[in-house]
Amino acid sequence: MNMLEYEIVLKIKIIYGVQGMSSWSMYWTFTKKAFLRSSVYRFEVWSRTGSNIIFLLMWGSIWTALYAGRDEAGGVTFTAMLTYIVVSQFLDGVNEAGTPLWEIQEKVRTGDISLELMRPFDVPLRYLFADFGSVAFYMITALLPLYLVIFYFLDLALPTNWLTWVYFIISACIGFLIRYCVEMTFGLLTFFLVETGGIEDIFYFAMSLLSGSVIPLWFFPSWLETIAVYLPFQAIFFMPISIFIGETTGGEVFTSLGLQLFWLFVCYLVLRMVWNRASHKVVVQGG
Amino acid sequence: MTIAKYIKLYFKLVSAGIRAQLQYRFAFVMRIIGMITAYTGTAVTMWVMLYQFQTLGDWNFFEMLFLFALSILSWGFCIILFFHFRSLDTYILNGTFDRFLVRPLNPFFHFMAMKFDIASFGQFLFSIVVFVIVSFQLQLEWTLGKLLFLLGAIVGGVLIQGGLLVIISAFAFWTTKSEQFYWVAMFPARNLTYYPLAIYPKFIQWITAFVIPFGFVNYFPTTVILNKETPYFPDYMGYFSPLVGVLFFGLAYFIWMLGLSRYKSTGS
């Protein structure tokens, strides 16, 4: 594509941008559409819930066996640990309702995502808002009812202070956004790689272990804990859950939230950089 | 056609498939590296889990590694032979399944021989390295009898997991869906069996022993080889692996053929 064509594309974007709806209501439309779309693929919602329950059962059993009847280990009570795993599986369900990594990779490979470059919206934002819709549907129809029942029947440690709930929700939302940025960045790497085999495995490994989603960081060997602390993954699961079960309290909560915001900023910046490079590459190659 | 002819034909189709896959050598290597990374990730997770706690139930890290590797080894063979069964729904929806019906071959055989995924080299490499490490660490003495027992367990494991893949694919004949059943049911179920079944509630253990006999893939055979206790079950359960495999696969084949007999092309 030469400079002239590039300018035409740019102009189309500007014209659309001017004539189009005001941008927030446009993105809101993606959210609504995604919500409605999920309601059509109800089988998918059921199946995802099924595997979520199986994994909850698995990690619940593993931690029960690890504690082996002890009331506490490493300064953490068994009830707190069980709560940790249940909340972690809940957050896992929330995060998995978004566009999965392989779908982003597929969209890059088939060129779907390049087509969207022509349209008058910002692609990463558009996917984020679509994710809000599918997450909302999944939460309302499956996750919230399911976990309300689980919280009712299991003997778990719920926060007694309503402020803790507020902090947890804020923290979990920031975690969700960080996960989105990281996953999207990993997905966009497909633009630069011929084969993505190893990439997704690294991502899933980091997401399951370094995020503390199945083993809290305080049970890590200290060298691994140090590594995990300096990576953004712990901000997705470990930080919000620690607030929930009361391991992070008082002033630490604000340090924790501040660190999360820092990581969100960094991850967003990286996503922007990768996205700019990627979309530039498309322009140069002509799709 | 005789069985010998079928076997000859199978190798012909398979060698064509292998040559096709080796055309994309870089992709092939990357897939293997990816798989080894993923399994190593699970092994590292087990190690971190046991760093503070030492044992899960009465299983230590190396015993758990053995259990895990046995599952991966038979899964490797399963990928070669049956993994593509899960996407039968795509073939049916696209109408490409019909070509398996118009040739003078058993459709089950033909569909099975269609693909031969040699990327499962990654599974073999991972599990064999783990077996060697664990054998040294636990000072296992491999007698001929034990090796034969292991071989039987692998055959059983391949047939059980392959059988479940075949049953899942047969769902496509009735519901035009199969791939998703794999991700809902079989993928999480396989993950469950990476850990000793003894840690799960009793009803799960019963299901994995008698309904979907995943326990015979790696758990029961491992308890025999490593002399572990199996609560609720007799110690000799592992010896039944090959038999359970044959029976379960027979059932799967029967269900698949039953589904096939009532299959109507989507006409696309």
The ipTM estimated for the assembled molecules is: 0.88
> d(Cα B181, Cα A127) in Å, to the nearest integer?
27
The shortest C-alpha distance from A98 to chain B (Å) reads: 17
The shortest C-alpha distance from A63 to chain B (Å) reads: 9
The shortest C-alpha distance from A15 to chain B (Å) reads: 40
What does the block give as tokens for A131?
């994710």
Contact B34 A220 (CB under 8 A): no
Residue type, B67: L
Instruction: Return the pLDDT at A19.
Output: 45
Instruction: Return the pLDDT at A4.
Output: 54
**Assigned domain for A5 exists:** no
**Assigned domain for B214 exists:** yes
The answer to whether B82 and B253 are in contact (CB under 8 A) is no
**Assigned domain for A9 exists:** no
pLDDT band at residue B103 using 50, 70 and 90 as cut-offs: confident
CB pairs under 8 A between A and B: 102
Contact B200 A55 (CB under 8 A): no
For chain A, say whether B212 makes contact (Cβ under 8 Å): no
**Assigned domain for B268 exists:** no
For residue A200, give the nearest of A105, A278, A276, A99 by alpha carbon.
Answer: A105
**Assigned domain for A7 exists:** no
The shortest C-alpha distance from A251 to chain B (Å) reads: 29
Residue type, A93: G
**Assigned domain for A239 exists:** yes
Per-residue burial over A170-206, b = 16 or more CB atoms within 10 Å of its CB, e = otherwise: bbbebbbbbbbbbbbbbbbbbbeeebbbbbbbebebb
In the 3-class helix/strand/coil scheme, how is chain B assigned residue by residue?
CCHHHHHHHHHHHHHHHHHHHHCCHHHHHHHHHHHHHHHHHHHHHHHHHHHHHCCECCECHHHHHHHHHHHHHHHHHHHHHHHHHHHHHHHHHHCHHHHHCCCCCCHHHHHHHCCCCHHHHHHHHHHHHHHHHHHHHCCCCCCHHHHHHHHHHHHHHHHHHHHHHHHHHHHHHHHCCCHHHHHHHHHHHHHHCCCCHHHCCHHHHHHHHHHCCHHHCCHHHHHHHCCCCCCCCCHHHHHHHHHHHHHHHHHHHHHHHHHHHCCCCCCC
Partners of A77 in beta bridges: A72
For chain B, say whether A69 makes contact (Cβ under 8 Å): no
Count of structural domains, chain B: 1
For chain B, say whether A156 makes contact (Cβ under 8 Å): no
Residue of B28, B50, B56, B212 best to disrupt the A interface, most CBs of A under 10 A: B56
User: Which of A51, A62, A219 comes nearest B51 by C-beta?
Assistant: A219
Contact A58 B44 (CB under 8 A): no
Length of chain A equals: 287
What average pLDDT does this structure show over B84-95? 87
The shortest C-alpha distance from A13 to chain B (Å) reads: 37
**Assigned domain for A14 exists:** no
Helices (H), A139-221: 144-153, 162-188, 197-205
What's the longest Cα–Cα distance across chain A? 72
Residue type, A113: I
Q: What is the pLDDT of chain B when averaged over all its residues?
A: 89
For chain A, say whether B23 makes contact (Cβ under 8 Å): no
Instruction: Return the pLDDT at A1.
Output: 47
A212: left (phi over 0), alpha (psi -120 to 50) or beta: left
Instruction: Return the pLDDT at B31.
Output: 81
> d(Cα A40, Cα B255) in Å, to the nearest integer?
30
Count of structural domains, chain A: 1
Contact B27 A195 (CB under 8 A): yes
Domain that holds residue A179: 23-285
For chain A, say whether B129 makes contact (Cβ under 8 Å): no
**Assigned domain for A127 exists:** yes
**Assigned domain for A175 exists:** yes
Partners of B56 in beta bridges: B59
Domain that holds residue B245: 3-261
Residue with tokens 């693929």: A41
> d(Cα A44, Cα A37) in Å, to the nearest integer?
11
For chain A, say whether B133 makes contact (Cβ under 8 Å): no
Other C-beta atoms closer than 10 Å to the C-beta of B62 total: 19
Q: Tens-digit pLDDT profile for chain A (287 aa)?
A: 455 555 555 555 555 554 445 677 888 888 988 888 888 887 888 888 988 999 999 999 999 999 988 888 888 999 999 999 999 999 999 998 888 888 888 888 887 877 787 777 888 888 999 999 999 999 999 999 999 999 999 888 888 889 999 999 999 999 999 999 999 999 888 888 766 667 888 888 889 999 999 999 999 999 999 999 999 999 999 999 999 999 888 899 999 999 999 999 999 999 999 998 888 776 655 54
**Assigned domain for A180 exists:** yes
For residue B152, give the nearest of B246, B249, B252, B248 by alpha carbon.
Answer: B246
**Assigned domain for B267 exists:** no
Which residues of A are less than 8 Å from B126 in CB distance? none
For chain A, say whether B3 makes contact (Cβ under 8 Å): no
Which residues of A are less than 8 Å from B37 in CB distance? 198, 201-202, 205
The shortest C-alpha distance from B123 to chain A (Å) reads: 14
The proportion of chain B whose per-residue pLDDT surpasses 70, expressed as a percent, equals 98
